């Protein structure tokens, strides 16, 4: 460092040799007339010679050192700031010698003004701050507006700014508001003038060295690091545009920061200035080295203070480096995590709240003191460019993870944080705006962000070696600091290194020295022992989610250490050691992603060896060397343990998806003929138990091993092996158990669990049929459990869960129809269907009621429809022949009977049942042998499609039907003799014979006799009645008087009926021909349950045919495109699939796994008929373009779903439309997704 620049006190006036009273009187006498003439435009200066000006300047120089109790110093500052404008706008009030040689005198004035900033007892006053700000504003105006300033004047101006900043920033931190504001202001002006000088008059090499040495002695001041980061981000934004071009992602910075870089600065100077400013602070890691930081007396004094800010400043410096790294990776950083809670692990006091300001925020706020504007500690989140995504199917991820105190995911709504802007106004009354007055102020608060999806790094990013050449030395040095006091900055450095290495391009080589140092850093940071540093461990995990997906050489060395770290996090339910500086939800999610990237390794590379380096000093005691296959049981144990300890819905969904993928991969490996993952002779059992964590003092779940037999502790079932079948059983049991326990109130998790349970039904594994039967029964019990919950708990979410459970049940029934052959299983499914349709189960009712007597009170209409779909699914897969039932229609039935169209078409009778089913009934012609067995052919059209049934009425069950139905009718008996037997006359008395002997009582006389109550008016009527009785008695007595006996005829059965209205008989048996079902809708408009259709109407048959062409399954279409890196034109994309040489073999394997090739040809009736073919035969030399829909397609179909896959090619679309319109058309077609 230039000793004269750092040690001298500036120019010393000759008046300092006289007593203070003398010097003060001289200054007052001289400065008053000078100050009085400044504001008057007609006043001319009376200083005409150089000697007069120099003598006056000696007086003014001494006046700047006087106390601030009067206006003397203020007047001296006014005079000097006015004279500084000689290079901007010369006026008559400025002495003639200064106007004649402005550079010479302005250089001297700047040397004199240093005396104003010299340490003094009254420098904490607002007057002093106002005077210093006035001088800095004048210097800033001089540099900005002067176009004729010489190089020497520029050098003097920069030295002046270095001197005054050294005077204020070299001492230890002070707590005064004025001192902090002045330090901030002077530092801002220094950097702005330095950048302006780089554009107009580039500073000399010696001045750069002096500035670097001085800034190294100011690093203990927060404002220095803050402004250094600010300038670096502004320069980086400009440099990236010049280096990578406009296609590179824009690194946005606030407008006030971008304005620091002069627009006229040429491209070459931008790069030179950026590199020199980057190293202007020397090595930021030196902040953590007391030997280097303490080389200056001020730094030594600062290092001895117990509440120093060095750890926080060190973290801010590393955060600034991290921001630059993100910019070079092409990641647009909008905001970062709050980092204040990390301070608890640094041993520093919490009384000062620090704030962070990123350049991309564009927000300027003012708060005082400046300590309240320092960066808060914490861990930056993984950037958007953290390498390729983890290969896992995440189910229903959309909602963002909650914070610690946030509501559950299904009821939480993300709200944008309100960020207000404030302006820092200077203490003077100057009205001219200055962007530096607001640019460096950080936001007053930070927003706690979650780990949301971010864009990937730019493909135009530089190589990793180039980035490490720039920042690797600082990052590696910072990451290898072993003191917990610097844990915040060390964690930021480790996270930045992880982001750099996870952004490695395909086939990119990284120097071995960088890889080895990186692996050493991770091995040190991933320790889980008591001496481990939780902030560093959390930072590595948060930024290494894709580390094992980047094909780094030797990355297998980190596998044991990462397993121990992930296990330490995922099996700890509370994470008390990490809560002070990172959100546990985000940390657990990052650990889950790392675990997901580790699970495929033992399956793909079972024989690769994993080693423990350096005698295991960086790993836990439970980490041992071995093959990847030997690590599989532990990974599965961690996966299941994480499911038990996880409380966040999004994280749980990711774990569930990982479980499904794991079983699918194991099943595919076993099906391909690879040996099963076997267990050693002494089976290893994994247990989930609660142990005391020495770090957190709380219960932490952990998996332990043993060989003593099956033991169970609190938590989960024992895992005996990791073959596909065993894992399938374990996962099914775990899902069905958790659905009715801890997940029953979380709709998002329940929906994902049911989806995974349905996915497990599609996995082909060798398990006992009873296990599948148990899984199906568990789904039925779960539906019953949810439907029987109290009414206050019923909501749309609950009904959605029930509908999803019915969908899961459909999958099980479709995939395993053999289970329905068991009577108990079929009855259980039908009972659940009955519960969904009617709301109750007949089996639980005391009395069995008929269908028409049962009230339909379903849980909801959606649940009823889902149950009906399940019933339809059962009817389709239970002993049915879909290919036969789906082909028969009216024309086919007519051809079967070999009759003319006119003779049978009129006999079809059509009815609509429940406004949803169309029944076409054909009463079949009966021969003599079928006279007593009425038959009926039916075509049923409903939501499930068209089905044909033939019905025949029999009075005997099918099993016992050995004879014809005629034997059930008894034959005619012989006629009975008319005189057979004895004829007895039987008199039927109307009253008992002994009625006369019964003594009467008063009650018998309560009703008077008829003759006692008859009046004269009633007497004629009574006589007519008696005459009628007598006449009737005579008629009844006539057979006895004639002497003939009554002949009784024998009862005989009626002859069999040979003519039936079969349709009427069938409908009556179903209870559909009742007054209720046939009632007139009237004014209500509600149709009857059974409505007859008139088939003679014109176009009736054509409408039925169009209805039959509608699919009954869920039919979807998907377009598949093969897009190479950098391709954006439709013609290029479509031409990729023309030849197999243009695509990778993996793409063809992917196509073959989607479905079967089908040949499409147009039928004369408008139907599409498909024929299945072999994939290798169809694909030929094509790259997939043969499946463009013209001749071939790929189709996947089951009982409920049908998906058509089409691979568009240039040959198919060139005849339809121009290639440049293809993408616009596909984007506008919402119903057709693209893959």
- Per-residue pLDDT tens over the stretch 381-434: 443 333 333 333 333 333 333 333 333 333 333 333 333 333 333 333 333 333
pLDDT of residue 578: 87
Helix (H/G/I), strand (E/B), else coil: 352 = coil
Whether the CB-CB separation of 487 and 441 falls below 8 Å is answered with no
pLDDT top residue among 351 and 984: 984
- pLDDT band, very low/low/confident/very high, at 1190 (cuts 50, 70, 90): confident
- pLDDT band, very low/low/confident/very high, at 367 (cuts 50, 70, 90): very low
pLDDT top residue among 382 and 874: 874
pLDDT of residue 721: 45
Cα–Cα distances (Å) from 1097 to 660, 912, 1090, in that order, read: 55, 16, 19
Tell whether the torsion through CA atoms of 437, 438, 439 and 445 is positive or negative.
positive
Q: In the numeric block, which tokens belong to residue 597?
A: 């990237």
Q: Over range 734-755, report the average pLDDT.
A: 91
pLDDT of residue 10: 55
Helix (H/G/I), strand (E/B), else coil: 214 = helix
Reply yes or no on whether the pLDDT at 713 is more than 90.
no
Sheet of 1192-1197, strand order: 1114-1119, 1201-1206, 1192-1197, 1156-1162, 1168-1172
Q: What is the pTM of this model?
A: 0.72
pLDDT of residue 611: 64
Residue owning tokens 């568009």: 1208
pLDDT of residue 1044: 56
pLDDT of residue 932: 61
- pLDDT band, very low/low/confident/very high, at 562 (cuts 50, 70, 90): very high
Q: Over range 1096-1115, report the average pLDDT.
A: 84
pLDDT of residue 686: 36
- pLDDT band, very low/low/confident/very high, at 1077 (cuts 50, 70, 90): confident
The mean of the pLDDT values for the chain is: 76
Whether the CB-CB separation of 101 and 90 falls below 8 Å is answered with no
Q: Over range 313-335, report the average pLDDT.
A: 85
CA angle (925, 931, 937) in 5-degree steps: 40
pLDDT of residue 1114: 78
pLDDT of residue 241: 92
pLDDT of residue 949: 80
Reply yes or no on whether the pLDDT at 1222 is more than 50.
no
State the DSSP string of 612-651.
--GGGTTS-TT---EETGGGHHHHHHHHHHHHHH---HHH
Q: Over range 34-49, report the average pLDDT.
A: 80
Out of 375-379, 872-876, 922-926, which region has the weakest mean confidence (pLDDT)? 375-379
Q: How far apart are CA 426 and CA 428, in angstroms?
A: 5
Q: In the numeric block, which tokens belong to residue 421?
A: 């802007």
Query: 110-124, 441-455, 710-724, 953-967: which has the highest mean pLDDT?
Result: 110-124
Whether the CB-CB separation of 82 and 75 falls below 8 Å is answered with no
pLDDT top residue among 414 and 769: 769
Q: How far apart are CA 1214 and CA 1224, in angstroms?
A: 15
Q: How far apart are CA 611 and CA 558, in angstroms?
A: 9
pLDDT of residue 228: 95
- pLDDT band, very low/low/confident/very high, at 352 (cuts 50, 70, 90): very low
Q: Over range 1168-1181, report the average pLDDT.
A: 74
Out of 236-240, 728-732, 914-918, which region has the weakest mean confidence (pLDDT)? 914-918
pLDDT of residue 454: 55
Out of 564-568, 809-813, 1041-1045, which region has the weakest mean confidence (pLDDT)? 1041-1045
Reply yes or no on whether the pLDDT at 827 is more than 80.
yes
pLDDT top residue among 954 and 1092: 1092
Out of 81-95, 410-424, 585-599, which region has the weakest mean confidence (pLDDT)? 410-424
pLDDT of residue 112: 92
Whether the CB-CB separation of 572 and 700 falls below 8 Å is answered with yes
Q: In the numeric block, which tokens belong to residue 264?
A: 């006229």
Encode pLDDT of 113-164 as tens digits: 998 888 877 667 888 889 999 999 999 999 999 988 999 999 999 999 999 9
Q: Over range 357-385, report the average pLDDT.
A: 33
Residue owning tokens 């035969």: 1177
Encode 733-743: b = buried (16+ Cβ within 10 Å), e = exposed: bbbbebbeeeb
Reply yes or no on whether the pLDDT at 1160 is more than 90.
no
- pLDDT band, very low/low/confident/very high, at 298 (cuts 50, 70, 90): low
Neighbours of 787 (CB within 10 A): 23
pLDDT of residue 175: 59
Whether the CB-CB separation of 983 and 1044 falls below 8 Å is answered with no
Q: Over range 199-211, report the average pLDDT.
A: 93
- pLDDT band, very low/low/confident/very high, at 1073 (cuts 50, 70, 90): confident
Whether the CB-CB separation of 752 and 652 falls below 8 Å is answered with yes
- pLDDT band, very low/low/confident/very high, at 986 (cuts 50, 70, 90): low
- pLDDT band, very low/low/confident/very high, at 200 (cuts 50, 70, 90): very high
- pLDDT band, very low/low/confident/very high, at 1072 (cuts 50, 70, 90): confident
Encode pLDDT of 213-268 as tens digits: 999 889 888 999 999 999 999 999 999 999 999 999 889 899 999 999 999 999 99
Q: How far apart are CA 1192 and CA 541, in angstroms?
A: 48
Cα–Cα distances (Å) from 589 to 500, 538, 653, 690, in that order, read: 20, 11, 11, 22
CA dihedral 1196, 1202, 1207, 1212 (to 10 degrees): 130
pLDDT of residue 637: 93
Reply yes or no on whether the pLDDT at 906 is more than 80.
no
Reply yes or no on whether the pLDDT at 911 is more than 80.
yes
């Amino acid at each position: 460092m230039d000793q004269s620049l750092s040690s001298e006190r500036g120019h010393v006036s000759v008046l300092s040799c006289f007593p203070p009273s003398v010097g003060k009187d001289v200054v007052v006498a001289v400065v008053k007339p000078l100050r009085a003439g400044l504001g008057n435009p007609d006043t001319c200066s009376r200083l005409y010679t150089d000697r007069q000006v120099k003598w006056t300047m000696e007086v003014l120089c001494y006046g700047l050192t006087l106390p601030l109790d009067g206006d003397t110093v203020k007047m001296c500052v006014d005079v000097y700031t006015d004279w500084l404008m000689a290079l901007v706008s010369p006026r008559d009030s400025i002495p003639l010698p200064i106007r004649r040689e402005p550079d010479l005198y302005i250089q001297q004035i700047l040397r004199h003004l240093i005396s104003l900033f010299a340490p003094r007892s009254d420098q904490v006053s607002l007057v002093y701050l106002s005077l210093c700000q006035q001088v800095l504003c004048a210097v800033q105006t001089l540099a900005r507006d002067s176009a004729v300033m010489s190089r020497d004047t520029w050098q003097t101006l920069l030295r002046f700014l270095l001197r005054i900043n050294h005077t204020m920033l070299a001492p230890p931190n002070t707590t005064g508001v004025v001192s902090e504001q002045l330090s901030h202001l002077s530092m801002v002006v220094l950097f702005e003038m330095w950048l302006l000088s780089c554009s107009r008059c580039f500073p000399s090499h010696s001045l750069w060295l002096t500035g670097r040495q001085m800034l190294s002695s100011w690093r203990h001041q927060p404002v220095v690091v803050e402004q250094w980061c600010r300038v670096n981000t502004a320069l980086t934004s400009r440099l990236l545009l010049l280096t990578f071009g406009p296609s590179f992602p824009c690194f946005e910075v606030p407008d006030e920061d971008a304005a620091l870089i002069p627009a006229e600065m040429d491209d070459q100077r931008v790069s030179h200035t950026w590199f020199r400013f980057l190293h202007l602070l020397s090595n930021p890691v030196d902040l953590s080295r007391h030997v280097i930081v303490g080389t200056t007396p001020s730094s030594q004094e600062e290092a001895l203070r117990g509440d120093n800010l060095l750890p926080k400043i060190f973290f801010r410096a590393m955060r600034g480096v991290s921001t630059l790294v993100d910019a070079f990776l092409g990641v647009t950083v909008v905001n970062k995590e709050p980092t204040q809670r990390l301070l608890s692990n640094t041993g520093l006091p919490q009384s000062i709240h620090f704030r962070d300001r990123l350049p991309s925020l564009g927000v300027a706020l003012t708060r005082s003191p400046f300590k309240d504007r320092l960066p808060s500690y914490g861990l930056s989140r993984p950037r958007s460019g953290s390498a390729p995504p983890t290969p896992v199917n995440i189910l229903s991820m959309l909602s963002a993870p909650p914070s610690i105190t946030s509501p559950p995911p299904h009821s939480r709504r993300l709200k944008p944080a309100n960020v207000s802007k404030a302006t820092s106004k200077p203490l003077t009354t100057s009205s001219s705006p200055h962007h530096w007055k607001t640019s460096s102020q950080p936001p007053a608060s930070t927003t706690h962000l979650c780990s949301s999806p971010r864009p990937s790094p730019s493909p135009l990013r530089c190589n990793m070696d180039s980035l490490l050449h720039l920042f690797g030395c600082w990052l590696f040095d910072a990451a290898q600091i072993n003191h917990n006091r610097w844990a915040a900055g060390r964690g930021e450095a480790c996270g930045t290194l992880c982001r750099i290495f996870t952004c490695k391009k395909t086939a990119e080589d990284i120097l071995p020295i960088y890889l080895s140092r990186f692996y050493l850093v991770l091995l040190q940071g991933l320790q889980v022992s008591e001496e481990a540093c939780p902030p560093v461990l959390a930072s590595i995990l948060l930024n290494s989610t894709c580390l094992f997906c980047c094909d780094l050489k030797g990355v297998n060395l980190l596998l044991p250490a990462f397993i121990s770290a992930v296990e330490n996090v995922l099996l700890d339910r509370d994470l008390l050691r990490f809560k002070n500086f990172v959100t546990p939800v985000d940390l657990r999610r990052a650990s889950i992603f790392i675990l997901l990237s580790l699970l495929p390794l033992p399956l793909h590379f079972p024989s690769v060896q994993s080693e423990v380096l350096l005698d295991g000093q960086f790993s836990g005691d439970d980490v041992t060397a071995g093959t990847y296959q030997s690590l599989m049981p532990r990974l599965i144990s961690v996966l299941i343990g994480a499911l038990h300890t996880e409380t966040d819905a999004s994280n749980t969904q990711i774990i569930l998806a990982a479980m499904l993928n794991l079983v699918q991969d194991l099943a595919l490996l076993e099906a391909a003929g690879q040996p099963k993952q076997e267990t050693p002779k002494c089976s290893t059992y994994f247990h989930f138990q609660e142990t005391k964590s020495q770090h957190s003092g709380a219960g932490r779940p952990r998996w332990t091993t043993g060989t003593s037999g099956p033991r169970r502790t609190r938590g989960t079932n024992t895992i005996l092996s990791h073959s596909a079948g065993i894992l399938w059983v374990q996962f099914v049991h775990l899902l069905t158990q958790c659905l009715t326990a801890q997940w029953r109130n979380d709709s998002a998790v329940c929906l994902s669990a049911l989806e995974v349970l349905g996915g497990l039904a599609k996995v082909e594994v060798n398990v006992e049929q009873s296990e599948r039967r148990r899984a199906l029964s568990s789904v039925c019990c779960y539906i019953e459990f949810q439907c029987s919950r109290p009414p206050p708990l019923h909501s749309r979410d609950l009904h959605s869960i029930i509908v999803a459970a019915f969908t899961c049940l459909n999958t099980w029934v479709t995939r395993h129809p053999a289970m329905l052959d068991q009577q108990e299983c079929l009855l259980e499914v039908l009972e659940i269907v009955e519960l969904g349709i009617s709301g109750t189960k007949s089996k639980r009712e005391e009395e069995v009621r008929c269908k028409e007597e049962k009230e339909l009170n379903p849980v909801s209409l959606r649940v009823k429809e889902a149950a009906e779909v399940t019933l339809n699914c059962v009817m389709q897969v239970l002993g049915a022949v879909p290919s036969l039932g789906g082909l028969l229609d009216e024309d086919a039935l007519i051809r079967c009977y070999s009759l003319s169209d006119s003779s049978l078409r009129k006999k079809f009778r059509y009815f609509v049942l429940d406004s949803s089913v169309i029944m076409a009934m054909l009463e079949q012609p009966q021969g003599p042998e079928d006279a007593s067995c009425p038959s009926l052919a039916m075509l049923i059209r409903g939501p499930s499609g068209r089905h044909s049934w033939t019905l025949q009425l029999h009075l005997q069950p099918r099993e016992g039907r050995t004879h014809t139905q005629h034997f059930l009718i008894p034959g005619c008996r012989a006629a009975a003799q008319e005189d057979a037997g004895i004829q007895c006359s039987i008199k039927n008395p109307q009253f008992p014979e002994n009625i006369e002997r019964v003594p009467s009582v008063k009650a018998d006389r309560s009703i008077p006799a008829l003759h006692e109550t008859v009046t004269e008016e009633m007497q004629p009527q009574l006589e007519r009645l008696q005459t009628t009785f007598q006449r009737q008695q005579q008629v009844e007595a006539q057979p006895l008087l004639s002497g003939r006996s009554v002949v009784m005829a024998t009862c005989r059965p009626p002859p069999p009926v040979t003519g039936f209205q079969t349709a009427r008989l069938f409908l009556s048996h179903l209870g559909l021909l009742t007054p209720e079902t046939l009632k007139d809708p009237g004014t209500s408009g509600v149709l009857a349950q059974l409505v007859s259709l008139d088939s003679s109407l014109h176009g009736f048959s054509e409408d039925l045919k169009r209805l039959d062409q509608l699919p009954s399954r869920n039919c979807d279409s998907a377009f598949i495109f093969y897009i190479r890196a950098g391709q954006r034109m439709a013609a290029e994309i479509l031409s990729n699939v023309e030849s197999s040489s243009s695509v990778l073999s993996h793409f063809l394997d992917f196509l073959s796994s989607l479905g079967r090739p089908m040949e499409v040809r147009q039928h004369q009736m408008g139907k599409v008929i498909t024929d299945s073919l072999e994939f290798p035969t169809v694909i030929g030399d094509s790259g997939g373009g043969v499946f463009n829909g013209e001749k071939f397609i790929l189709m996947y179909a089951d009982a409920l779903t049908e998906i058509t896959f089409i691979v568009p090619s240039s040959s198919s679309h060139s005849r339809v439309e121009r290639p440049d319109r293809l993408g616009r058309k596909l984007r506008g077609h919402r119903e057709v997704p693209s893959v």
